[in-house]
A = this chain, B = another copy of it.
């Protein structure tokens, strides 16, 4: 019997997956969690064979949970995500996850992937993997990404500068460089572009 922990903040998909997986003779859902923190504590307490973790969750995201679980609990993590960006896959692999699956795939495949992963194999969605290999490294320096992140909610130059302990002029220089590299003309467009590529 494969003991599975299921974490997804969306109740409908969580309960639907739980119901479907419970129909499988060799799979048992031992916990359902609505956020990352809860998933972490449950996983530590129950030591499931496999953790099926949604990426987008309030508080800790799925990859955060996998990373923290890595050295403490001998469990295999599968990340499931709505928007499978290369950046997310890279983060997930760095966190040592055993599986990576976008939600565009059908629910039928989930049980099979859980079996593979429980058996020691890894499963990475081929399409996302191809995307990630074919590149899309951010053309921005790490500091420029910091600035972009700090300003992603429409913060003013002064606010960004304060939150990063920088001079306003420095922030403006970074932003100017960002806009040039991304060939856009406002911060907001830069933020949107970067989010779409999974750079921030």
Contact = CB atoms under 8 A, between A and B. Distances in A.
A143 interface: no
Contact of A187 (B106, B188, B192): B188
Contacts of A110: 12
Interface size class of chain A, counting residues whose CB lies under 8 Å from the partner chain: 20 to 34
Nearest to A103: B12
B12 A154 contact: no
Contacts of A82: 10
Contact of A80 (B12, B104, B156): B12
Interface stretch (A14-22, A65-73, A168-176): A14-22
A41 interface: no
B15 A107 contact: yes
A103 B19 contact: no
Interface of A: 10-17, 19-20, 80, 82, 103-108, 110, 153-156, 184-192
Given A10-B82, A12-B106, 17 more contacts: A10-B103, A10-B104, A11-B104, A12-B17, A12-B80, A12-B103, A12-B107, A13-B107, A15-B108, A16-B17, A20-B20, A154-B184, A154-B186, A154-B188, A154-B190, A154-B191, A188-B188
The 9 closest A-B pairs by CB, nearest first: A154-B188, A16-B107, A154-B189, A16-B16, A15-B106, A12-B103, A154-B186, A15-B107, A11-B104
